């Protein structure tokens, strides 16, 4: 059995939609750091597809937040509005 080197990961660009989504959730307190990854991914999907409202994206992530989901939505929406993204 051999061990291969891990695949290289190309980071997202500075002004991409993906980077914006992850930056929008960066300041939200969660129980586990992986919860922020899930939350950021769901916000990214919501921004990319524009099918579900932001509230559904936050609920779908099932992140263990230390604040209410409503407060998280308010913070994310305020960040996105500051970046010029209206939902």
Q: Where are the alpha helices (DSSP H) in 1-87?
A: 17-24, 33-49, 54-61, 69-82
Collapsed DSSP state (helix, strand, coil) of residue 25: coil
Q: What is the pLDDT of residues 27-65, one digit of tens each?
A: 999 998 899 999 999 999 999 988 889 999 999 999 999
Q: According to the model, what pLDDT value does residue 8 have?
A: 74
Q: Where are the domains of the chain?
A: 17-82
Are residues 16 and 47 in contact, defined by beta-carbon separation less than 8 angstroms?
no
Instruction: With a cut of 70, say whether residue 2 has pLDDT above it.
Output: no
């Amino acid at each position: 059995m051999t061990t291969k080197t891990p695949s290289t990961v190309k980071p997202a660009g500075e002004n991409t939609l993906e980077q914006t989504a992850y930056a929008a959730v960066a300041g939200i307190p969660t129980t586990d750091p992986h919860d922020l990854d899930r939350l950021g991914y769901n916000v990214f999907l919501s921004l990319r597809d524009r099918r579900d409202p932001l509230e559904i994206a936050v609920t779908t992530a099932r992140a263990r937040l230390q604040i209410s989901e409503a407060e998280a939505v308010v913070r994310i929406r305020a960040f996105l509005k500051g970046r010029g993204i209206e939902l």
